[in-house]
Structure 1
Amino acid sequence: MSFHQMWGELAPLGRDPRTGGYRRFAWTGADAECRAWFREQAGRRGLAQETDRNGNQWAWLGDPTRGDAVVTGSHLDSVPDGGAFDGPLGIVSAFAALDELRGRGVEFRRPLAIVNFGDEEGARFGLACVGSRLAAGRLTRAEAFALTDAEGTTLPAAMEAAGYDPETLGPDPERLARIGAFVELHVEQGRALDLTGDPVGVASAIWPHGRWRFDFRGEANHAGTTRIEDRRDPMLPYAETVLAARRAARLAGAVATFGKVAVAPNGVNAVPSLVQGWLDSRATDQPTLDRVVAEIERAAHEHAGRHGVDLAVARESFTPVVEFAHALRDELGRLLTRCGSRPPVPVLGTGAGHDAGILSGSVPTAMLFVRNPTGVSHSPAERATEDDCLAGVAALTDVLEGLACR
């Protein structure tokens, strides 16, 4: 089956007809449809399938227990109204690369697997890369059981409703020990490749990044009868903190975004009692990120105090800087230049988190990026040309051949 056919089958799943974006949230009906698509693709190719203790899907060519396997893949879930390419491009490309390798008649000397990691985006439960974090022991079973969505549904309850057993959740060192190399292909979430004119690049590192929740607590009151001077309105320090975050990030050459907000009681004619804002911040190095977040917290406390509002700040997730394994990264570069017959591929860092970054402490990992002509991501406007997607498939095919077949 061609890349184009696979892409066409997957494209309608979980798409919101009103926005054109995707709502493929963990353990929902849309997630189940994507998982069924993955099983169908694996079945068409005669691959052995398994779902691990943390809900990640695996499709194997060769003996999984042999060890030193080459694994590729990504994720199929999305952010709210996300784009079509973030995650799915890596999995569709993986199946297409396997088809190309079989068409070349190569002999596999190492097991090969394609993986779909669950809940990479964290759109439902607020924590990114849940499936890979659990597998790598970077999220405990107790922490996973404490995760809840906006409706108060716990992660275990959501898994049970979807037909999975949450009692199995936990570290999976035996499975990770099977992997000799993990290579994730992903659409670039930025314009570096567009600016250099290259269709494909190799990742060097992932910036340190985290998520923080800011709770501004004031006093609910009537919007029409309460004097301005008598109000304890938490919306005001929240708004000022959003602007402070933008200033702090710009001055430091970092990024900081308040992209999610919850207001109570959320009435048009009511002064809020509580405003919760979630901060996402990333920087090229840890000291810079620490300075940016500290400045945002300082400003938030200052603004809250001036308006008579209480403030609590909690860090909900954090991922330190990830330097991808240099030996594997350099090997990808060598395989993609074919001993000088092609120009060197660019090596670039990224501010976006990925399952490959989570696994990097347990197995050698690397990433390939496919050009994004606008740099837009986490939006229905996210895109990549078909020619560039096929260039990504060709690059992944060459990498897998070099790692698993030679």
Structure 2
Amino acid sequence: MTVTARLAEIADIGRDAERGGYSRHLFDASDAPLRAWFHRSAEQLGLTVEEDGNANLWAWWGEPGAGAVATGSHLDSVPGGGAYDGPLGIAAAFEAVAQLRGARFAPARPIAVCAFAEEEGSRFGLPCLGTRLLTGSVDAALTLQRVDAASTTLADAWRESGRDPARVGADPARLARVSAFVELHVEQGRDLVDRGIPVSTAAAIIPHGRWHLTITGQGNHAGTTRMDQRADPVVAAARVVLAVQQAARGHAEARGTIGKLQVIPGGTNVIASRVEAWLDLRADRDDDVRALFETVIAGARAAVAQEGCLLEAQEESFTSRVDFDAALTARVTAALAPEFGAVPAIPTGAGHDAGILSAHLPTAMLFVRNPTGVSHAPEEGASDEDCEAGARALAATLHELAGAP
């Protein structure tokens, strides 16, 4: 089989007819079929599958034990996302195992293919949910209280899926089994296109913060309320969007985005009473993100006050800068050299499970060229040839890391 053929098996799961692309979220209608595909793919290769208490899937080649080498990614997506962000890393991992088995490779240490839960954070607002819970970097009890857009708590969603919320939380014994984790991912930018190469390693993940903004005004009648008598939170929110753009453009290498808005009550002939907005900020260093937030929030408060509204801001998550393990990255780079030459290590502005795990064990990443440079949208892509090159790169990596010392 090929990586492309493996991805084709899930091509109809989670399609979004309204947005285009895919909408696959934790415990939604697409979740169980995707997990079933993971089980089938693993069992066809003779791997043993287990699910941990945080809804992460592990497919083992060999008995789970100390010194294991893990790889994989996630199966969920952003709303209307592309076909490759996440699933490519899992399909390539299964294909890499298939290639190694076909070559009669006998790993000296266990290999695990992983599918981590809710990496995008699109349902419950916390990116890398599965790995954050696994590593204990978030409080399990507080996390289970998080709610989705329908006001369903994570704890209730967990129970409705047939899982036990009492099992959610840090799992140090499982982490202790893993000696290294390598995540393959479609590139989220145009670096490899510009370089003219199919794969690379990753140098770092720049820091990333998310905030929930609540802009409160005065709900009223759209036809009877004079323009000079309004406290319209939608107008205030528009000014906040512009304030984010202005602040981010004033900081070198910064990114500022409001990608989600909810207008309450949402009637066409009603002046809204409240707008909920979600702010995403990224920059080169942790302090840069914090400074950018202070600039954004100062501008936002001024903009909101101009419309006679109020603003509240609550931090939802903050992921510090990750510099990937230099020694592990060097071993991966050396493993790729016979076929791909001296591949570069490039930074990324996107968060990944490998970044969360990096605080607990050596991690590295492989990127596969994206010809459009677009990600988190239906236009995201990778050629069949580059997907197969990625699988070969991952197979070479696993051969290096799990082979005899």
Query: Same fold judged by TM-score > 0.5?
Result: yes
In the alignment, which residue of structure 2 is the partner of 1:381? 379
Tell me the CA shift for residue 319 of structure 1.
Answer: 0.3
Letter in 1 for 2:367: F
Matches within 5 A, 1:259-270: 259-270=259-270
- Counterparts of 1:304 and 1:16, CA distance in 2: 34
Secondary structure at the counterpart of residue 177 of structure 1: helix
Native 8 Å contact 2:58 2:115 kept in 1: yes
Letter in 1 for 2:26: A
Secondary structure at the counterpart of residue 30 of structure 2: helix
Tell me the CA shift for residue 285 of structure 1.
Answer: 1.2
Tell me the CA shift for residue 342 of structure 1.
Answer: 4.5
In the alignment, which residue of structure 2 is the partner of 1:346? 344
Structure 1 residue 20 and structure 2 residue 20: aligned? Answer: yes
In the alignment, which residue of structure 1 is the partner of 2:276? 276
**Segments of 4+ moved more than 2 angstroms:** 1-5, 16-20
Secondary structure at the counterpart of residue 64 of structure 1: coil
Tell me the CA shift for residue 19 of structure 1.
Answer: 4.0
Q: Deviations over 1:139-160 (max 9, x none)?
A: 2111221111100111111122
Tell me the CA shift for residue 343 of structure 1.
Answer: 2.5
Matches within 5 A, 1:104-115: 104-115=103-114
Q: Deviations over 1:270-307 (max 9, x none)?
A: 11110111111111112221221111100111112222
Tell me the CA shift for residue 18 of structure 1.
Answer: 4.5
Native 8 Å contact 2:4 2:387 kept in 1: no
Native 8 Å contact 1:263 1:274 kept in 2: yes
Letter in 2 for 1:201: S
Native 8 Å contact 1:24 1:76 kept in 2: yes
In the alignment, which residue of structure 1 is the partner of 2:396? 398
Secondary structure at the counterpart of residue 29 of structure 1: coil
> Which runs of 5 or more structure 1 residues have no equivalent in the other structure?
none
In the alignment, which residue of structure 2 is the partner of 1:88? 87
**Superposed CA RMSD:** 1.1
Letter in 1 for 2:31: D
Native 8 Å contact 1:28 1:162 kept in 2: no
- Counterparts of 1:401 and 1:220, CA distance in 2: 62
Tell me the TM-score normalized by structure 1: 0.97
Matches within 5 A, 1:1-400: 1-65=1-65, 67-252=66-251, 253-338=253-338, 342-400=340-398
Tell me the CA shift for residue 2 of structure 1.
Answer: 2.9
Q: Deviations over 1:3-60 (max 9, x none)?
A: 2321211111111244431111101120111000001111111111110010100010
- Counterparts of 2:12 and 2:266, CA distance in 1: 33
Structure 1 18/269 Cα, relative in aligned 2: closer, same or farther at 3 Å?
closer
> Which runs of 5 or more structure 2 residues have no equivalent in the other structure?
none
